[in-house]
Amino acid sequence: MTLDDLRVFVAVCRAGSLSSVARDLGCTQSAVSQHVKRLEREIGVALLERQPRGVIPTQAGRILEAAAAEGITGLDLAVRQLRDLLDGHSGYVRVATGATTVRHFMSDAVVSFRRRHPEVNLEFRTVSSGRSSFDALADGTLDLAWVTIGPPVRGIEQRTIAELPWLLAVRADDPLAERPDLDPAELLDIRLIRLPPNSTSAAHLYAACDELGVRFAYDTSVADWDTALLLAELGVGRAVVPAVPGLPVPREGELRLIPLPGLRPLPVGWAVRRWDALSPPARAFADTVAQFRGSAAAR
């Protein structure tokens, strides 16, 4: 039994698929299967049960997964602490971001952190979804992920840093542009630019609308908030977007942003595997971002 065997086994349990883990690791499905079989030979019991779509851990597999995940986390923490002792708290912080995260949420924090910790390397990785961020946190390839806070995820801790009100973005010459605010029910007959339907932020918006019995109609789709704002500014359509930091000043330019106070705000913040397992540089960066977002909210 090796540490790699346990890492691969935990990844398979979380993904529910041998082939998915093989793709992530850049190896064959057979190689992933060999890791699991080696564990099964060592322990003497079956650890996975095949299903029509993928695999699930057996009772014995669940016991081993829980123990292995905890042990791997502890080992990772010990290795990071040893590195910190060797190089005087230098090192790296690996952060998962979306396409607009650094621009809207972290730019001032990055500058401040770099001045205070010039020896620490910041590594930003763009990920395609919250699920991908959670998987990367779980297998230890990332330290922090900035996410839309959603339902609890096993093995992941989430912490809300800000709650973003929803806005309707329209062009300055739009008939709604001069409204001080809008009730979401007033948008029932209006076609909107659609946020990515598989994103957590879109799911949160749909849930907030469901609470009010409101259904939006869509005719254009985008991959991120900035694109939705650009299309609204160009007059291509209207968009419901969260009030991310750094939006255009109200009443200036070609874009108008109208509050939708009836919709439940969008919570965003950090996701980590375990707060107490973060390296000192990663915790310092997370705290720096939280401090800047807190001071921005106070203003």
What is the per-residue pLDDT across 34-70, written as a single tens digit (0 to 9) for each? 999 999 999 999 999 999 888 999 999 999 999 888 8
Total structural domains in the chain? 3
76 domain-assigned: no
Q: What is the mean pLDDT of residues 287-298?
A: 76
- Give yes or no: residues 246 and 275 share one domain: no
Would the CA dihedral through 276, 277, 280, 282 be positive or negative? Answer: negative
Collapse the DSSP code of 289 into the 3-class scheme (helix H, G, I; strand E, B; otherwise coil) and give the result.
helix
Q: Name the amino acid, one letter, at 288.
A: T
Q: Which of the given ranges, 78-87, 131-140, 177-186, has the highest pLDDT on average?
A: 177-186
CATH value at residue 191: 3.40.190.290
CATH value at residue 58: 1.10.10.10
**74 pLDDT tier (thresholds 50, 70, 90):** confident
What is the per-residue pLDDT across 180-204, written as a single tens digit (0 to 9) for each? 999 988 887 788 888 776 778 888 8
Nearest C-alpha neighbor of 6 from the set 40, 29, 30:
40
Residue 8 has pLDDT above 50, yes or no: yes
Would the CA dihedral through 107, 229, 206, 126 be positive or negative? Answer: negative
Q: pTM for this one? A: 0.67
- Give yes or no: residues 277 and 232 share one domain: no
79 domain-assigned: no
185 domain-assigned: yes
- Mean pLDDT score across all residues of the chain: 85
**272 pLDDT tier (thresholds 50, 70, 90):** very high
| Between residues 172 and 70, the one the model is more confident about | 172
249 domain-assigned: yes
Domain with 26, as residue range(s), is 3-69
Residue 87 has pLDDT above 70, yes or no: no
- Do residues 120 and 245 lie in contact, with contact meaning Cβ atoms separated by under 8 Å? no
CATH value at residue 113: 3.40.190.10
- Give yes or no: residues 144 and 288 share one domain: yes
- Give yes or no: residues 170 and 247 share one domain: yes
Nearest C-alpha neighbor of 235 from the set 190, 170, 191:
170
- Give yes or no: residues 15 and 131 share one domain: no
Domain stops at, among 22, 40, 69: 69
Q: How far apart are the C-alpha atoms of 60 and 48, rounded to whole Å?
A: 9
80 domain-assigned: no
